[in-house]
């Protein structure tokens, strides 16, 4: 696609529910990143994929968070047993190759846990 597409743009859920957030990166971008931005803060790294594999998942806050990228393109961030503290904007970004390259960000998925 022309840009990085994230769905849904907004998600409101109840505490304890399961949530999936989807990211469709720019076609051909092998690197895909998930970041989380809480209100008034800068984004924080969650996980990085190079192709299909999670090259670095050190930013995932706990085992309720999981992400996949089975075909090396679309990625899904999965959050189990959501908590109010999970409320944030979840940003996806993609870039060429494995090095430090120009990133293209999606518009984000705003998650609100009631």
Partner 1 sequence: KNEVEQSPQNLTAQEGEFITINCSYSVGISALHWLQQHPGGGIVSLFMLSSGKKKHGRLIATINIQEKHSSLHITASHPRDSAVYICAVSRGRGATNKLIFGTGTLLAVQP
Q: Rounded to whole angstroms, how far apart are CA atoms 96 and 98?
A: 7
Residue ranges in 47-66 that form contacts with partner 1 under rule CB under 8 A: 48, 50, 55-56, 59
Parallel, antiparallel, or unpaired for β 88-95 and 109-113?
Answer: antiparallel
Q: By CB under 8 A, tell whether 99 contacts partner 1.
A: yes
CA–CA distance from 92 to each of 39, 73, 114 (Å)? 17, 12, 23
Q: In angstroms, give the least distance from the CB of 24 to partner 1.
A: 14
Q: Figure out which of the listed residues 26, 33, 90, 113 binds partner 1, where binding follows CB under 8 A.
A: 33
Can residue 25 be called a binding residue for partner 1 (CB under 8 A)?
no
Nearer to partner 1, 80 or 112 (CB): 112
């Amino acid at each position: 696609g022309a840009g990085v597409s994230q769905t849904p743009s907004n998600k409101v859920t109840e505490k304890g529910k399961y949530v999936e957030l989807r990211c469709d990166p720019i076609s051909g971008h092998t690197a895909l990143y998930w970041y989380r931005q809480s209100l008034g803060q800068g984004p924080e790294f969650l996980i990085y994929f190079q192709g299909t594999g999670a090259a670095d998942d050190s930013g995932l806050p706990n085992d309720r968070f999981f992400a996949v990228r089975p075909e090396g393109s679309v990625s899904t961030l999965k959050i189990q047993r959501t908590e109010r503290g999970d409320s944030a904007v979840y940003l996806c970004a993609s870039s060429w190759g494995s090095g430090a390259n120009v990133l293209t960000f999606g518009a984000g998925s705003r998650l609100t846990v009631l």
